[in-house]
Amino acid sequence: MRLHNLIKSGGRKDRKRVGRGEGGGRGKTSGRGHKGQRSRSGFGLRPGFESGHVPLYRKLPKRGFSNFNFRTEYSVVNVGDLERVEATEIDRNALVKAGLVRSSSGLIKILGEGEISKALTVTADKFSGSAKEKIEKAGGTVVLAKPVESEEAKEDSE
């Protein structure tokens, strides 16, 4: 048995080498036909393109409303995760330091999953009912954070 006697046993097919002359089976136009946009380099077909016809997404009627652009996003922290934080007064800075929230994230909401055993003073933008109940049951207090005023709102009020 020598190296040149070995037979390939499937598993991985060699890619088609395009544009390597007529002998390669994909020479001259390299399977692109003659002329036209599709034969040129850099051609890309966008999703939904129907060769000049009105695409389906324009034929169908628009319906409904999406609140996606106007939603309020919260960074979520569970009550069980607060147990890991070293401080007794927990606010945004303490949560960032513990790695539970990114510093750039917007509002913070505390949810009630998990258990808490120590008394903590938790400051956040929103609390679920069960989270509030568990924190107060453990002897802690819940403080709602003051909403941060944007620069534009301050200028309008003056």
Identify the sign of the CA torsion 87, 89, 90, 92: negative
**Residue 129 located in a structural domain:** yes
Q: Is residue 94 domain-resident?
A: yes
DSSP symbols for 95-110 = HHHHTSS-TT--EEEE
Per-residue pLDDT, 143: 94
90 is a domain residue: yes
Copy the structure tokens of residue 48.
């939904």
Residues sharing a CB contact under 8 Å with residue 87, sequence separation 6 or more, in sequence order: 94
Between CA 11 and CA 17, with CA 13 as vertex, the angle to 5 degrees is 165
Share of the chain above pLDDT 70, in %: 93
pLDDT at 156 over 70: no
Q: Which pLDDT score, from 0 to 100, does residue 51 have?
A: 85
- In a domain, residue 33? The reply is no
pLDDT at 56: 94
Q: Is residue 157 in a domain?
A: no
- Predicted confidence at residue 124, as pLDDT, reads 93
Residue 136 lies in a domain: yes
What CATH number did the domain enclosing 147 receive? 3.100.10.10
Q: How high is the pLDDT of residue 86?
A: 86
Alpha-carbon distance 28 to 156, whole Å? 68
Distance in angstroms (rounded) separating the CA atoms of residues 118 and 15: 62
Please report whether residue 101 resides in a domain.
yes
Average pLDDT estimate for 37-58: 90
Picking from 129, 96, 88, the residue whose alpha carbon sits closest to that of residue 112 is 129
Count structural domains, the chain.
1
> Confidence band (pLDDT; 50, 70, 90) for 150?
low
Is residue 114 in some structural domain?
A: yes
Which single residue is written with the structure tokens 């890991």?
Answer: 84
Q: Are strands 89-90 and 126-127 parallel, antiparallel or unpaired?
A: unpaired
Tell me the pLDDT tens digit for each residue of 93-103. 999 999 999 88
The overall average pLDDT reported for the chain is 87
What strands, in cross-sheet order, belong to the sheet with 107-111?
A: 74-78, 107-111, 126-127
pTM, entire model: 0.56
Does residue 142 surpass a pLDDT of 90?
yes
Structural domain that includes position 85? 72-152
